[in-house]
Homo-oligomer: A and B are copies of this chain.
Amino acid sequence: MTDTAAPSENRYIVPALAQGLGILSLFGGENRSFTAPEIAKALSLPRTKVFRLLQTLQSMDYVRCDEDKRHFTLGPALLRGGFEYLASLDMVEVAQPILQRLRDETGLSSHMAIRDKREIVYVARFPARSTIASSVNIGTRFPAHATIMGRMTIFEMDDKELAALFGKEPLVRFTPQTPVSLKALKALLAQDRARGYAVSQAFFEAGVSAIAAPVRDGTGKVAAAINVTAVNAHIDEQAMHGALKDAVLNAASEISRWLARKS
């Protein structure tokens, strides 16, 4: 599911570090615990090295092992990095009140996400008051090509960058509308670029509509995306491209302006 740790074709890579981090990124989703041999097979590393890497990770509390001494799970040291990173993101702090206002104005759930390789990660959210709270928690990851927020984070990339990101592995289909070829994705991105925002037509999840807009940092580069989401039944096409679109775009550019002021 998640991207396997790609060692990447860099000249100055420290294998031990890359492999150790590779172990950590094995965990995720349903995979909550591994044995040493399982890890060795998954990463095709020698048994003995996995043993030493695990010893190192364990001694620093990045992983823990059960009483049976065989199964390893993630450890609390990971929270150090993860939350320090969230706290370091100025944009989350800046966006918080604006997202809240967007939620209150539209009555819909508002979210903010950043891109990590081929995925987007939710970093802030305000669930709609009325309906059932959106099940999207902070930290949730979705494929970038299949979500409009994802497309917002890549819609100013040139062909070379896009090829580097999506050229290797095929684009996974989630709904009939999901773009599965680089050409189809580029067509959508061109449309997004022209509009400056995007409206979801169930590219990722059927029955869920959304409007997303890009957030730019001080240099003008797209740094994140925000959106509002609703179930299809509760929203009409007119409003999406009208007042709702304006609300999202305004919120996005307001966040961008605050970010520019910071740098």
Contacts and interface: CB of A to CB of B under 8 A. Distances in A.
Interface string A39-77: 000000000000111011101111000010000011111
Contacts of A20: 14, 16-17, 20-21
Contact of A13 (B7, B21, B59): B59
A245 interface: no
Contact of A121 (B5, B29, B76): B76
A239 to B, nearest CB: 33
Interface residues of A, number: 61
Given A61-B116, A117-B61, A139 B51 contact: no
Interface of A: 2, 5-8, 10, 12-21, 24-25, 27-29, 32, 51-53, 55-57, 59-62, 67, 73-88, 114-117, 121, 123, 137-141, 219
Given A10-B55, A21-B60, A53-B14, A85 B78 contact: yes
A12 B15 CA distance: 16
